[in-house]
Amino acid sequence: MLTLKMAFRNLWRNKRRTGLIILAMVVALSMLMLAIGILNGMMADIIASATDQYTGHIQITKEGYPDDRDLYKSMKEDQQYIKQLEAISGVVAASARLRCFGLLSAGNRTQAIEVLGVLPEEEKKVTTLSQKIIKGTFQVGPGECAIGQILAQKLGVDLNSQLVFLTSAADGSIGNDFLKVKGIFKTGSFDHDGTLALVKLPWLQDLLVYPGQIHEIALRVKNPAQSPLVSQKIPPKLSNTPLLIRPWQEILPAMKQILDFYDIYLIVLLSIFYLATGLGIINSFFMIVYERTKEFSMMLSLGTTPGEIRRLMLAEAFFMGLISVVIGGSLGFGLLSWFYFHGLDLSAWMTPITYLGATIPPVLHTQFSYQGIIYPILFLLGTSAAAAYIPAWRASRLDPVKGMRRG
């Protein structure tokens, strides 16, 4: 207890030196909390853009369909089965889809596209495409479509423009019909904005002469990280048709690998950041030892043990670390909160970045996580103690006679 009291009092004998050391640790802690918060936000945006906009957290298809997206590898549209899926613990909503590929024309302009037949009211519960509408509406009816902004620009069309869609029907005939543009969306993904058109599911079933058939069911779950566990609860067959059930981690394996290495990346980032901080602390404590050589020598000559000298300096380092955690943690939490609500707007210097089907937006928002708060605090306390140990050991090894003479 006496050692702790002495250590705390010693901090304020040279307020300027103590203040500078604490300031360095406060800046390091708060900036690292902010950096990790922004990285967490980027990862959340990447997962959301890869799954929420189009893929869904879980996809259910007929076995073999994802390999070639063959029109004939379909399954029955069973509303009872969909209700059964939505009743599974952890599942928020399910949306049936039918997909085909064809040509979309406006005047003398033609583009190869993917057409996704959905029920808008159900799809908006599973994906965020309805939130990406910049013109018109997501609620398309028969003979209407919502298309990406880039596709609209390529075709030179706008709302209420009439398009012609041409594709191969399931019975071998040529399916063709008019489509009126009722909505234009912008997701930030070049693929989706440049090649995707959304239509009403029954209309597409009629055009393809494929009544009551769908290609996939997309599911949204409460916790995307738990998608593999939720997928294990899904019935593996529909009317004796073997189903392929894939969480987004299997659909987007490269994205999963990025997440798997994320914690390792955080540890490396923390180590590099605090290595620099630790070198600064070591330098400061060596200066403390140099300035207080006479004091430590006198304490040793009066019977203070080397171990007590070491404990005294380590206690001083602990108190400075503790004060830095309180101030830096509060400042870091404030910065996290500010950028969580307002975001870091980099739109003047960058455009949305698309990578592996995911999009990093130009406005970055922070994300709270226990790693982003606990890890920096623990690393700071550990760094301050480790950085102070070598100077403390040197102080405890002083020769009292030489030290008194030097002082």
**DSSP symbols for 120-136:** HHHHHHH-SGGGGEEEE
**pLDDT value of residue 407:** 53
Residues 269, 275, 276, 279, Cα dihedral to 10°: 170
* Domain architecture of the chain: domains with CATH: 2-50+258-406 (no CATH), 70-214 (2.40.70)
Q: Is the dihedral of CA 5, 282, 278, 389 positive or negative?
A: negative
Amino acid at 389: Y
Predicted confidence pLDDT, tens digits, the chain (407 residues): 677 777 777 777 778 888 888 888 888 889 888 888 888 888 877 777 777 888 899 999 999 999 999 999 999 998 899 999 999 999 999 999 999 999 999 999 999 999 999 999 999 999 988 999 999 999 999 999 999 999 999 999 999 999 999 999 999 999 999 999 999 999 877 888 999 999 999 999 999 999 999 999 999 999 888 899 999 999 887 777 889 999 988 888 777 777 777 778 777 877 787 777 777 777 777 777 777 777 777 777 777 787 787 888 888 888 888 899 999 999 999 999 999 898 888 777 766 666 655 667 777 888 888 778 888 888 888 878 887 787 778 777 777 666 666 65
As a whole number of angstroms, the distance between CA 110 and CA 96 comes to 28
Amino acid at 223: N
CA angle (369 as vertex; 259, 277 as ends), nearest 5? 90
Tokens 């997909």 belong to residue: 99
**pLDDT value of residue 116:** 96
Q: Residue 263 in contact with residue 365, Cβ under 8 Å?
A: no
Structure tokens at 290: 């140099």
**pLDDT value of residue 388:** 79
For residue 81, give the nearest of 216, 260, 272 by alpha carbon: 216
**pLDDT value of residue 359:** 67
**pLDDT value of residue 101:** 96
Per DSSP, the chain holds a count of helices (H) and strands (E) of 16, 17
Q: Which residues pair with 263 in a beta bridge?
A: none
Q: Which residues pair with 273 in a beta bridge?
A: none
**pLDDT value of residue 357:** 59
**pLDDT value of residue 401:** 67
As a whole number of angstroms, the distance between CA 317 and CA 379 comes to 14
**pLDDT value of residue 394:** 77
Residue 341 belongs to what H/E stretch? helix 306-342
As a whole number of angstroms, the distance between CA 120 and CA 200 comes to 7
Alpha-carbon distances, residue 171 vs 175, 196, 279 (angstroms): 10, 24, 74
Structure tokens at 390: 């070598």
For residue 104, give the nearest of 68, 157, 66 by alpha carbon: 157
Q: State the pTM of this model.
A: 0.69
